[in-house]
Copies of this chain bind each other. A is one copy, B any other.
Amino acid sequence: MQIQEVFDLVKDDMINVEEVFKKNLSSSVPLVSKVGEYILNSGGKRFRPLLLLLCARLCNYNGESHVPLAGVMEFIHTATLLHDDVVDSANMRRGNAAANTVWGDGASILVGDFLLSKAFTMAVTYGNDRVLNVLSHSTTRMAEGEMLQLVKHSDIGMSEEDYFEVVANKTAVLFSSSSQVAAILGEVELEQEVALANYGMRIGTAYQLMDDCLDYVSTDNALGKAVGNDLREGKVTLPLIHAFKSANETDRSVLKAAIEADEFDESKLKEVLGIIERCGGIEYAIEYAGKLVEEAKKDLELFDPVVERAALEAVADYVIERSF
């Protein structure tokens, strides 16, 4: 199944999710709605809502709460984008000026808080205690993941273990929550709920691994921001960690100097890319992601081979096939 067919499968629900966005962005302060609309309409793939909607159908959920809860996932995601761009002093997001570039850090911080609070308001209305528990633990872990990333900023000695903790928390946990919340709605057996939570965790991790690879090997246009951005921001990711582990002394000192530089030397980008390539840093990360995707597909084996299961398998494949 192609990813477009997957989206077609939940087209009607997704239209309703977009309505949920609109409705919940309304505010007595017009700038809140404006910044919120800007970031929500900046080309996001709606990956987390897609997961929730597909999993809800896979779990034979027949109610109406999956639509607002899919909206909750995107609101939480969007809130963290706004905050992360301030934390990273990012200028660009998906080919457009980042919200903090347009309206300043203050507006991005506060609209992020607004979206997170709205997400909880919606979750209180449409979720139950278990859903709320999953969500509040997720947002806690997301903040911790971002903090660990901040602490490990410019640290070439960052371990694979720390890297995977950052990835699990800052990215994968919200994928995992999206599929788990659907399982809770569908009231499936605990074993199936755990399987879906694991599925989300694995494809979320693979998603971030690919993001981190694409940051090195994509093009500026496809990324919507400059290639080598993680390096420039002092973010140590798996391709670099692997390269540093296997490089010779000379290359290691080049990598160390590049990540530790206060002001990144653009002329060094090619050299760093060359070292990562020689050490197979990208292949290593992609292979890792590939294994996760295979395991994620195995998680689905507890479910009947219905069209939604095929769709979720296609989503898993897409995560590592996408080029942006």
Contacts and interface: CB of A to CB of B under 8 A. Distances in A.
A112 B111 CA distance: 14
Contact of A118 (B112, B114, B117, B140): B140
Given A139-B113, A139-B117, A151 B29 contact: yes
Contact of A120 (B29, B80, B139, B151): B139
Number of copies: 2
A147 B105 contact: no
Nearest to A141: B117
Contact of A121 (B83, B110, B133, B147): B133
A132 interface: yes
B129 A124 contact: yes
Contacts of A150: 31, 106-107, 110
Nearest to A124: B132
A114 B144 contact: yes
A80 B106 CA distance: 12
- Contact size class for A? 35 or more
A121 B133 CA distance: 6
A273 to B, nearest CB: 27
A110 B28 contact: no
A31 B120 contact: no
A224 to B, nearest CB: 22
Contacts of A117: 136, 139-140, 142-143
Interface in A119-156: 120-121, 123-125, 129, 132-133, 135-137, 139-140, 142-144, 146-148, 150-151
Contact of A105 (B27, B87, B142, B151): B87
Interface of A: 27-29, 31-32, 80, 83, 86-88, 105-107, 109-114, 116-118, 120-121, 123-125, 129, 132-133, 135-137, 139-140, 142-144, 146-148, 150-151, 165
Query: 8 tightest A-B contacts by CB?
Result: A114-B143, A117-B139, A87-B106, A117-B140, A113-B143, A121-B136, A120-B136, A124-B132
